[in-house]
Chain A
């Protein structure tokens, strides 16, 4: 590594100090927001898991329910009316399980997946947990839930027991439900619906993936903190629409501007000083991991560990042929396509876009031919963050109009899969790769469990590297 000269070191310290000050400032504002959200009563049990266990209309007494998580492990038995409740102090993810041995003979759960499920505390303090039974167990959720275990009941319902699912929409973003469904259940309409949903997912991922690939192409940095740019977009959109109730178009503009500013900050405060210092690429990669951890927990600090619903509706239900979707889904797809075309035109038609591709190809040569490489990299950071922030808005809608502190990190590996699939450093490859990953993710649920669909996408990534390491559109020499 090069030895660093004194003034440069001071420059880096200065920028870190500024970044910390900025963070502290944001912290001050954030605590106010968080305090307004939490209920005023500071009792020890902030959240209550509850429900009524009934077989048809008969309440079941003495059924044991266990809630575990965050250092809590509590088992309760249902009372004579079949009701149970467990209070927990901290927000977070808890596992609620039923001891099937304590159920009366002949009563079985509708499926083994209901025996134990995870719930994440949301803004509501009471969380209803449903345990549907196989034979006579009342009308469970039949519609709506498209793949996930559904039936999560986090949507503020106060535990009315088996009266049916609040289902689908409130599923956790890690395994969010597909955006589209079908009117009939024939195989091909399901395929079509999943394909449309996968296309939508792929297009919105393409926005983020292009950011990753442009940054990689121009600077050589694999940015592991890129998912946090996506979360940031979602959070700013949540704050401007749901917390302060501004109109959607203003919220979108603010989100995009804030995202672009964050991208600028990334380059100005962290990556440019590192470049000037001559820090190695692997070190920078680990820096992005540190940045990702810091930002992710900072987001959790701001909005808590639960899932927050957005106040902007997902639009009306729309029937197109056999497919059921919402107007919101159509709008996101159209927006994604328009933006992607615009980015494509920018890269191929404008001077700046050509300069970007030149830096991507060969930074020294570009610099020698009079291109200001630092300026191009700065623009790439701003553009990448802007696109990713925008995809953050769309992603909150894809998973059902909600936001969680680590959504970006969940998608990050899929973004990398798309980028690698298309060929690291190639913007058009990233588009193709992201769409392929989106389609694979959604279509795989036709044959395998929905909670394994991200695993399938990552498996595709590994297989591609095995047989065509340079990706679909990548060039041979990029791989050492």
Chain B
């Protein structure tokens, strides 16, 4: 068992683009649940919508080749299309559900997320969506790769070494995380943020002050959803688009990261995502290391790998029961009422 390699792999997760994408998605969910009190269990669908809109626009319209647009413009256009798609999905989801009680919203968002996944997955539209196989990375990474200002072969040191493309994606993804954090921080100190938090605490009180609660909830849902859509783009830049990556499991991991770091805090989602991935990698490495030296008897390596997801589930239970405010949160800020 190579303990150093396990630690190094775990440390590598701190800066990985996947962690950045998760941090973004968690920041979006924090706007939903932490600040506005919306029980959104479909955050993975916002990511899927963003990722697919970005990739399909780049592949089907391909403005660089077909319209002769400069590379940066077609990249921004694809991002813009993804944002529009996330807004549209937010409206679709919000209109029927935001008037309903919290647990209904939970069931509907999770159902909508699965509808998105089934639709992307079906062989019916596979010429556009790639069906269950998804879309190949090289088909939509052209623009972003052409924009890459880095020319060397590898950057970084130790566990944080990456290729030029990977480093470029990391810079973009973490840059976006920082922008999103500042945006959320500023918004939540603004009058808008106070109304949002008021809705979380007592919807009727806010309504009696003459505020349009439905409208504010919708704005919060769309804002968090757009951040989730951008997270989707960042999630697929280092890999291919796979419909099953956006299953409910991803939503649940985002929730675990949010509750771990602390809902209704600015930094909580970032801390939670980093900790989640580092711990997942570490326990995975540790379990497979222990398995390889025979600590678990005749358990296979795959089984050892599954144990860590059992641990994720138990950890989620323990956090919610014993420390619902997470690491950074304030218990008074967090309201878990339906």
Contact = CB atoms under 8 A, between A and B. Distances in A.
Real complex partners, A and B?
A: yes
A95 interface: yes
Contact of B310 (A112, A117, A301): A301
B309 A91 contact: no
Interface stretch (B50-58, B105-113, B149-157, B228-236): B105-113
B114 A290 contact: no
A279 B108 contact: no
Interface stretch (A30-38, A310-318, A326-334): A30-38
A289 B336 contact: no
Nearest to B251: A289
Interface residues of B, number: 60
A371 interface: no
Contacts, number: 177
Interface in B263-313: 296-303, 306-307, 309-313
Interface string B79-105: 000000000000000011100111110
B128 to A, nearest CB: 12
A465 B97 contact: yes
Contacts of A291: 313, 317
A462 interface: yes
B67 interface: no
B298 A35 contact: yes
A452 B124 contact: yes
Contact of B317 (A149, A290, A409, A416): A290
B310 A451 contact: no
A346 to B, nearest CB: 27
Interface SS of chain A: helix, strand, loop or mixed?
A: helix
Contacts of A301: 303, 306-307, 310
A466 B255 contact: no
B255 to A, nearest CB: 7
B303 A449 contact: no
A279 B321 contact: yes
Contacts of A283: 320-321, 324, 336
Contact of B320 (A90, A286, A480): A286
Given A451-B123, A465-B100, A293 B337 contact: no
A1 B324 CA distance: 10
B112 A458 contact: yes
A32 B300 CA distance: 11
A448 interface: yes
A87 B299 CA distance: 22
A149 to B, nearest CB: 7
A282 B316 contact: no
B209 interface: no
B337 A282 contact: yes
Contact of B121 (A270, A287, A416, A451): A451
B114 A458 contact: yes
A449 B122 contact: yes
Given A90-B302, A112-B127, A116-B132, A461 B111 contact: yes
A362 B307 CA distance: 41
A97 B336 CA distance: 47
Contact of B96 (A113, A294, A409, A465): A465
Contacts of B124: 448-449, 451-452
Which of B95, B115, B124 is most buried by chain A, counting CB atoms within 10 A of its CB? B115
Nearest to B103: A222
B106 A420 contact: no
Contact of A95 (B107, B112, B127, B133): B133
Nearest to B313: A294
A189 to B, nearest CB: 25
Interface string A432-472: 00000000000000001101101100110111011001000
B4 interface: no
B111 A97 contact: no
A413 B310 contact: no
B119 A413 contact: no
B249 interface: yes
Nearest to B123: A113
Interface string A19-48: 000000000000110110010000000000
Given A282-B338, A294-B313, A479-B104, A413 B114 contact: yes
A300 interface: yes
B111 A451 contact: no
Contact of B114 (A12, A451, A455): A455
B315 interface: yes
Contact of B122 (A31, A116, A452): A452
Contacts of B119: 452, 455
A417 interface: yes
A125 interface: no
A179 interface: no
B107 A31 contact: no
Interface of A: 1, 12, 31-32, 34-35, 38, 68, 90-92, 95, 97, 112-113, 116-118, 149, 222, 270, 274, 277, 279-283, 285-287, 289-298, 300-301, 304-305, 409, 413, 416-417, 420, 424, 448-449, 451-452, 454-455, 458-459, 461-463, 465-466, 469, 479-480
- Closest 8 A/B residue pairs (Cβ): A294-B313, A290-B316, A293-B313, A297-B309, A280-B336, A455-B118, A290-B317, A480-B101
